[in-house]
Chain A
Amino acid sequence: DTGVSQDPRHKITKRGQNVTFRCDPISEHNRLYWYRQTLGQGPEFLTYFQNEAQLEKSRLLSDRFSAERPKGSFSTLEIQRTEQGDSAMYLCASSLELMYQETQYFGPGTRLLVL
């Protein structure tokens, strides 16, 4: 299967700890997105990369959050000094900037619980 993969699938951490999530997009896709989903809500956009360049960040992405996509392949999302409000599902999606209107394909997500 060559879909979007995310690791880990689940993470439990204590408040104040740092966590890092990884996303591997579909291999030929040059765009990569991070979203966050909380209970009862739809996914909310966090940030997006075109190749290795981070081109947009949501105001939801506080200074404690940082994302990278070295060499335009996989991406990591790090949360420093986690807070209980960071508990959510973190979703990664990728797309191919070929067509005028592109479709994003999502990974299975990483569920984070901050105690």
Chain B
Amino acid sequence: DQQVKQNSPSLSVQEGRISILNCDYTNSMFDYFLWYKKYPAEGPTFLISISSIKDKNEDGRFTVFLNKSAKHLSLHIVPSQPGDSAVYFCAASLTGTASKLTFGTGTRLQVTL
């Protein structure tokens, strides 16, 4: 049972435009959500997180939006840069359960010139 889903395996965006990556979850008990970026042959790198008590968190070019009623979150990257090309993973956890992360299957973002 895939509790965290990223339904778009890939996304191509032009440099300077907005990239929007989506993530859906089924477990309403999840209360902390994170986005990681992964380059080939490297471990995931933490990007940004959001608690379920918020609906938006912003850090530089990265903004995460959380819609609890729809069990949906999205990552916005503005403006997109070629160095943003990577696989992006959405992850969720339940506070109080050692915070083990449940990951989606990832979305490969390609930022073209």
Most buried by A among B43, B44, B102, B106: B43
Q: Does A31 contact B98, Cβ atoms closer than 8 Å?
A: yes
Q: Does A91 contact B41, Cβ atoms closer than 8 Å?
A: no
**What residues of A have a CB within 8 angstroms of the CB of B93 in the complex?**
101
Minimum distance in angstroms from B106 CB to a CB of chain A:
6
Q: Does B102 contact A4, Cβ atoms closer than 8 Å?
A: no
Q: Does A106 contact B105, Cβ atoms closer than 8 Å?
A: no
Of all chain A residues, the one with the shortest Cβ separation from B96 is A100
Does A40 sit at the interface, judged by CB under 8 A? Answer: yes
Minimum distance in angstroms from B33 CB to a CB of chain A:
10
Interface string of A85-99 (1 = CB under 8 A from B): 000000101010000
Minimum distance in angstroms from B13 CB to a CB of chain A:
21
Minimum distance in angstroms from B78 CB to a CB of chain A:
23
Q: Does B104 contact A42, Cβ atoms closer than 8 Å?
A: yes
Interface string of B14-54 (1 = CB under 8 A from A): 00000000000000000110101000011111100101000
Q: Does B89 contact A42, Cβ atoms closer than 8 Å?
A: yes
Q: Does B101 contact A104, Cβ atoms closer than 8 Å?
A: yes
Interface of A with B (CB < 8 Å)?
4, 6, 31, 33, 35, 40-45, 48, 50, 55-56, 91, 93, 95, 100-109, 111
**Beyond A41-B105, A45-B100, A56-B98, 10 extra complex contacts between A and B, CB < 8 Å:** A4-B43, A31-B98, A31-B99, A33-B100, A43-B103, A44-B103, A45-B101, A101-B93, A104-B99, A106-B44
Interface of B with A (CB < 8 Å)?
4, 31-32, 34, 36, 41-46, 49, 51, 89, 91, 93, 95, 98-106
Q: List 14 A-B contacts (CB under 8 A).
A: A6-B43, A41-B105, A41-B106, A42-B104, A42-B105, A45-B102, A91-B43, A104-B34, A104-B99, A104-B101, A105-B46, A106-B43, A106-B44, A107-B43
